[in-house]
Amino acid sequence: MFTGIVEERGEIVAREDLDQAARFSIRGPLVTSDAAYGDSIAVNGVCLTVVEHADGIFTVDVMAETLRRSSLADLSPGAPVNLERAMAADGRFGGHIVQGHVDGVGTIASISPTPNWTVVRIGLPADLERYVVEKGSITLDGTSLTVSAVGAGDDGPWLEVSLIPTTLAETTLGLAEVGSPVNLEVDVIAKYVERLTGAGTSRQEKGE
């Protein structure tokens, strides 16, 4: 499990395309400082397993399903990535519950700087709209953020987040441009609530 508090901005140093998979080597001196084989590290919000590590670089294998459901398929050497180690049991819970399981990919629709923060609007896949609420939590490329606004337009539903200078400086969101893809993970609690209430309604309808 993760919290969405990005520990460092790493970099893709190598990519090897395999049969229905890809192997990435990623530079991340901080997250590899205590890494071991089999550890979990979130890369742009995707939970991946360390298969090799040395000299501040770790290697992960990414299967076709993950490539299809996330923006990792678009990454090439030189690309910056957000990195976070799995949460330690005695650590502070600074963000929210983040599983590292991407629900979909959004697209940055607009970036509006102000003197003290930047408002970013992201086009939201229609099937995720029901899980996103104003003042709720959302994970964007592995970064835990608060939804500042939601809405819908001719191009479909959208959400907005307001980014402080620290977030812009320490994560890949500060380098993103209009049109950039963003990995989205909605609040897992919303999905469980939907599942439970839906199952309850179904049993009642059946007279169980």
pLDDT digits (tens, 9 = 90+) for 160-205: 999 999 999 999 999 999 999 999 999 998 889 888 998 545 444 4
In a domain, 76, yes or no: yes
**Model pLDDT, residue 199:** 52
Q: Read out DSSP for 101-165?
A: ---EEEEEEEEEE-SS-EEEEEE--GGGGGG--TT-EEEETTEEEEEEEEEEETTEEEEEEEE-H
Q: What are phi and psi of 205, to 5 degrees?
A: -65, -30
What pLDDT is recorded for position 136?
94
* Total number of domains constituting the chain: 2
Query: Which tokens in the block code for residue 51?
Result: 């298969």
pLDDT tens figures, 75-123: 999 999 999 999 888 777 888 888 999 999 999 999 999 989 999 999 9
Write the single-letter amino acid at 148.
S
> The domain spanning residue 66 has which CATH number?
2.40.30.20
Within-domain flag for 134 = yes
On whether both 54 and 132 belong to a single domain, the answer is no
Which of 104, 95, 89, 93 lies closest to 191 in space, CA to CA?
Answer: 104
**Is 202 within the bounds of a domain?**
no
Q: Of 52, 85, 118, at which residue does a domain stop?
A: 85
The one-letter amino acid code at 63 reads M
Does the pLDDT value for residue 9 go beyond 50? Answer: yes
Q: What are phi and psi of 19, to 5 degrees?
A: -70, 110
Final residue before a domain boundary, out of 27, 58, 85: 85
Domain co-membership, 66 together with 136: no
Whose CA is closest to 11, among 36, 38, 32, 34? Answer: 32
Instruction: Report if residue 118 sits inside a domain.
Output: yes
Across the range 141-157, mean pLDDT stands at 95
pLDDT value at residue 106: 97
Q: Domain range for residue 145?
A: 104-194
pLDDT at 43: 98
- Residues 188, 129 within the same domain: yes
Which residues have CB under 8 Å from 112's CB, separation 6+? 118, 119, 120, 121
